[in-house]
Structure formats: C-alpha cells, structure tokens
Amino acid sequence: MEYQKIANEIRFFCADMVQEANSGHPGAPMGLADIAVILSQHISINPSEPHWINRDRLVFSGGHASALLYVLLYVWGYDISLQDLYDFRKINSKTPGHPEYKHTQGVEITTGPLGQGVANAVGFAMAAKRAQNILGKEIIDHKIYCFCGDGDLQEGVSYESCSLAGHHRLDNLILIYDSNNISIEGDIGIAFSENVRTRFEAQGFFVLEINGHNYNEIDFALQQAKKSEAPTLIIAKTKIAKNAYKLEGSHHAHGAPLGRDIIQESKKKLGLSPKTFYLSYDTKAYFTHVKLRGEQNYQEWQKKLQNSKRKNILESLLQKDHSSIVFPDFSKRYDETQQKINNYVTLHITNSMATRSSNAAILNAIAKANIGFMGGSADLGPSNNTTIIDSDDFPNGKNLHFGIREHAMGAISNAFANYGIFTPYCATFFAFSDYLSPSIRIASLMNAQIFYIFTHDSIGVGEDGATHQPIEQLSHFRAMPNLLNWRPADANENVCAWKNALKIKKPQTFILTRQNLPIIESPYITTDNVGKGAYIISPSQYTHITLTLLASGSEVSLAIKAQQKLESNNVATQVVSMPCYDLLIEQDEKYVKDLFKDSKVLGIEALRSFELYRYANDIICMQGFGASGKGNLLFEKFGFNVDNICNKAQSLL
C-alpha cells in the first residue's frame, strides 16, 4: 500500500479526534504524519513489554501533537482502544490534551511546556549512555527519537540541553524538527530568524535537511541518523495541517478544529473514506510490523541478557533497593562543648555542622550502596557538596556536570528518573531553583522520584545579598502538589529525612544551610517522628503547655534557645521541629491536636512562610527581601533572635 494513503488516513484520523473533542491542535499531527509512517519502520519497541529497558524512546516535545502520538500508540499495539481515541481530551480518558506519563501506556514522559521534551530526550540519551557503560553495548544499544517544533527550539531550555548533548557526543539522540515556520501568532519570521542548522552544528550536531513529506528523504535521513557518531538534528520542512483544504499552511490550523466541512472536503479531494475515525484494513496491517519486529528484537535481546555476566547488575538496578545503605552517625562525633537545654535536649555548639555538609556524607553513603543513585550540580558542586567522592564523571561514573544550565538540569533529571533504573539528584543554590521550577512541576505531575539539593537556604547566606537569599521559594514549592520539601534542623534530622525520602516515590527537595548549625541531641529525633513532617523535638518541663514554637531548619536550634529563656520565666514552652510541612498537612486531626495541644503557636522561619498560619497564631518571618552582610547579623537585623522571639511570645500570650 502506498505511504501517501496511509499518512492521509492517519492525519485525518487526528483531525477527526480534534473535531470530536471540539478542542485541540490538528496542525502539527497532520504535518508530521508522513514522518510518523516512515519512523514506524525504524523504531524498536515492544508494546507487549512496554517497560523493556532497551526499547527506543519516542518523545513528543510538542505535546500539542498528542493526537498523533495516541493514534500511533493505538496502531502500534499499546493499551489504547478506539474508544480512548473517541474520548480524546475528555474527563477521565486515557488520552488527555497533552501526554501524561503513567496515565497512558507508551507515553515515556510528561512534556507539557514547549522545550521540555527536547531536554527530556537529551536526558534519556544521557541515561542510556550511563546504562550502556554499566551494562554493556550488547544490553543497551537503543535510540532516542524526539519530535520538536519551532516553539521548542525558541525556548531556552532546548539550547541548554542541546549544548550538553553536543558536548557529550550523544550519538543515540535523534531530534526531528518539524520546521513548518508557523507559530500561534503567524509566520515565525515575526520573532525568529536564526540559522538553526548553523546553531546546531556549532553545538556539535550532525544536521540533515529534508522535505518532511518526501518518504525517500525521510527514510534516508533516519538511516543516516542511526549511523551518526554525533547527536542528529533532522530539519524536516513541512506544512502545518498538510492536505487540509484551505487551511494547509495556516496558523489558524494550530490550535483549533478544522471544521467538519473542511475535513469532509479534504477527504473527498484525497479519495479517502468520508467516515470519521476510520483506518482501512491495509493501514492497520501496515503498522502491525512494528509490534512483530519489536517482539522479535525483545526475544533476541533476552537471549543476550541470559548470556550476559551483567544480568544480576540489571536486576539490582531495576529493584532500586536501599536497604544496604550505612548512614553516617553524627551523634557520636562531638566533644563536651555543649549547652544543656532541658533533661532531653543538648545543643553541641563548637562542633556544629552545616546541613549541606552532613548531606554530602549522606549522598556518598547512598551512592556507595546503590549503583543507580547519581547526580550533580549546575556548576556548584563544591558549594552544594554534591560530589560522589569515589566515582568518576559521566558517563563512566555517577557525577554529572550540568554546567550553568539549571533549566535543562531539571528536565534531564526527569528523564533519568523515567528511564527505569536510576535514582537521580540535582543541585543548585535555593535562590536559583526558580530556573528549574517548570521541570519540578512536571516531575510532581509524574510523581517521579528525584531529589533536588538546594543549599544556601535563607538570609543566612550572608554577604552575597538579597539576590542570593531565597525568601519566597519554599512557599512556592510547598504550594506544589506531590512535592515534598525537607528543611532539616541539623545533621541527625537530615539522616532521618533521607531514610523517609528514599521510601517515598515522589520528587523531593532538600533545603540546606550554608552556615553551621548546632547538632541537636534529642531522643525524639527518630525516623518515624521526622516522617510525620513535624514532631516535638524539645518538650516542656511543665505538664500544661502554654506556648509552642514551630520552626524548621536553622531556626529550630534558635527556638530551643528561646525556649530555655521562656521556661526560666515560667512560660511552659515546647519546640516543634517541622522538617517537612508537606507531610505535616497529611496527618490526621488527632495527631495535630496532640502535637500542639491547646497552646498558642508561634511560627519561626527566616522565609516568607505565610502558609504557617495554617497552624500558627502568629509568625516571625521575612516581610521583605534580605540584605548584604554577615548571616548572624542579618538574623539579628530581621528579628530572628532569642529576645525578639520571647517578646513576640509574650505579646501572643
């Protein structure tokens, strides 16, 4: 059967989906249909084993082309029914407006905002290179395909990620650029005129230019890309809404249904069946070879795996078992210089430690026990303390160097998490977390287990000033669903936080100090207590509690010092440490009642922290941005000191 008729049936099936939903984007799916038909001869997947580690990955960076992706998954043999295609963009369907990971079988990653998918594809290619280094080329030799468009390449994240792809010579990466010169506002020439070929060649890519509707050129380009020794960009010149009567090439076809009349006139002109949601027997038969070829490739791969000496390594990576980690014990490392607060709590002052420093020891302990635990920093490894000491750099080891590319770092980490055998972390200063916030949001949508190490957590940063002192960032992340944010009070609480975090399959941030903090010796710092999100770290000496000081991070030890003064003035005061606000709000009413009792609650965080009013009667927090100066003096300036806490408490009572 001729490719043209197959492609036309696919493109108008997509148009019917958008028309039925009365919502969506027909233009890109129709323009890419020809390439999709030929790609089906090259891609190696096995819908019967959708999580096969050596499958090719296909990423739609332009999630608005989802109609085409869903049709491909349907004809390739994934768990997508004809009814699912009828239900495109409807509530509770398997076919939402933009593809979502774990929601629809065969979708490799949630892309969402433009540019994310390009960076995700780079991340998949990097993950595959690391996997190949661990398991060998006979076990890992697949490719990463990515459809992207003009909008993806205009977003800065694509530049960041492709720069890294070229640097690492990722020859397993094939970007297919749907170059139709159309954006929502019209011709891309109104805002985009750079030479894309030259840009990618400068980044180290092998670049091909083809007619995206010429089947011989498409096939030849894919063959060349698979043999390339560098990452490949195929610039495919296409027409948006290809073969749509009157609307072909128009920006009006990007984000709205074509209209039933235009669809019917186009089908008639092309000699297609007037039926909606129609694929002929021959078209369906054409795509069955994808599944058959994939099953054969999978069986051949299984034979290689059974004969491989690294089979056990793959099994270990797939299990992601953290039970053998030997965590550092920070409670036995300190001398006699201490401050006794009550019968339960001691602050070790002289041998204090920044939580970024304790975190370094924890990361190395985890990495020592888990070959798939890996990550790195956006050029801040020595400051974030995120280097794995006894390991090489990517691809030979666990240390990733992202360069100063926070946005790409976040999206690449998403792909590492979804690859199937890795547990990734990435790091930067907390003030710079804004740069990777879009990727963290996508990770939260996917419930991907990624650890974000954010150091220099408050005005305690000091002399670098307000530009580097995060104020509102933690409140932003606390507002994000499915994201857990840990702000440990000291090294021991940090260990307990990690013990909990590794068991929770969600993205999680660790908000850590630059400055040293006293080590808190308390029998209440346990994994179970920390796992509740908040707990009484320093109880009152009195039976009936009048006041609760609620704090996190560096402010916990400050609250304990204030407690000592308040109790000496006969104010029955307890201190509640809140390492994870997000877990606290999940606790039942009884736990919260037992935690705060009938006391007045004063929240203390050197951040904006207005969300603490959920539990607190009043809070001591930042009312504006910070300033430049020594961290301890800034704490005094902005009221984070014992005297101000005591005065606030007295006013509250």
Compute the Cα dihedral for 314, 318, 323, 329 and give only its sign: positive
For residue 184, what are the CA distances in angstroms to 90, 146, 462? 23, 21, 45
pLDDT band at 387 (very low <50, low <70, confident <90, very high): very high
Each residue of 136-152: pLDDT tens digit? 999 999 999 999 999 99
pLDDT value at 231 more than 90 = yes
Q: Which of 215-224, 245-254, 392-401, 495-504 has the lowest mean pLDDT?
A: 245-254
pLDDT of residue 141: 98
For residue 135, what are the CA distances in angstroms to 126, 138, 172, 533, 599? 14, 8, 16, 39, 58
Contact 553, 511 (CB under 8 A): yes
DSSP type of residue 94? S
β-pair partners for 517: 353
pLDDT of residue 1: 53
pLDDT band at 32 (very low <50, low <70, confident <90, very high): very high
pLDDT of residue 336: 63
Contact 5, 267 (CB under 8 A): no
Between 349 and 159, name the one with better pLDDT.
159
Contact 160, 119 (CB under 8 A): yes
- Average pLDDT in the 570-593 region? 98
**Structure tokens that stand for 3 in this block:** 């490719």
pLDDT value at 296 more than 60 = yes
- Average pLDDT in the 103-122 region? 96
Catalytic residue, candidates 20, 108, 160, 406: 406
Q: Which of 604, 614, 623, 371 has its CA nearest to residue 478?
A: 614
pLDDT value at 346 more than 70 = yes
pLDDT value at 122 more than 80 = yes
Percent of the chain clearing pLDDT 90 (strictly above): 94
Peptide bond into 579 cis (omega under 30): no
Percent of the chain clearing pLDDT 70 (strictly above): 99
pLDDT value at 335 more than 70 = no
Q: H or E stretch including 234?
A: strand 232-237
pLDDT band at 123 (very low <50, low <70, confident <90, very high): very high
In degrees, rounded to 5, the angle at the alpha carbon of residue 135 between the alpha carbons of residues 130 and 139 is: 110
Concerning whether 20 is annotated as a catalytic residue, the answer is: no
Give Cα 592 to chain centroid, integer Å: 31
The model's pTM: 0.97
Q: Which of 576, 14, 611 has its CA nearest to residue 267?
A: 14
pLDDT value at 632 more than 60 = yes
* Amino acid at the residue 64: H
- Average pLDDT in the 424-443 region? 98
pLDDT of residue 372: 97
Each residue of 538-565: pLDDT tens digit? 999 999 999 999 999 999 999 999 999 9
Per DSSP, the three-state class of 290 is: helix
In degrees, rounded to 5, the angle at the alpha carbon of residue 472 between the alpha carbons of residues 502 and 424 is: 25
- Average pLDDT in the 195-217 region? 98
pLDDT of residue 333: 67
pLDDT of residue 343: 83
pLDDT of residue 253: 87
pLDDT band at 334 (very low <50, low <70, confident <90, very high): low
- Mean pLDDT over each residue of the chain, to the nearest integer: 96
Kindly report the three-state secondary structure assignment for every residue of 560-613. Answer: HHHHHHHHHCCCCEEEEECCCHHHHCCCCHHHHHHHHCCCEEEEECCCCCHHHH
pLDDT value at 653 more than 70 = yes
Contact 499, 327 (CB under 8 A): yes
**Structure tokens that stand for 348 in this block:** 């070790």
d(CA 480, CA 437): 10
Query: Going by C-beta distance under 8 Å and a sequence separation of 6 or more, which residues neighbour residue 362?
Result: 327, 328, 494, 495, 498
d(CA 283, CA 291): 14
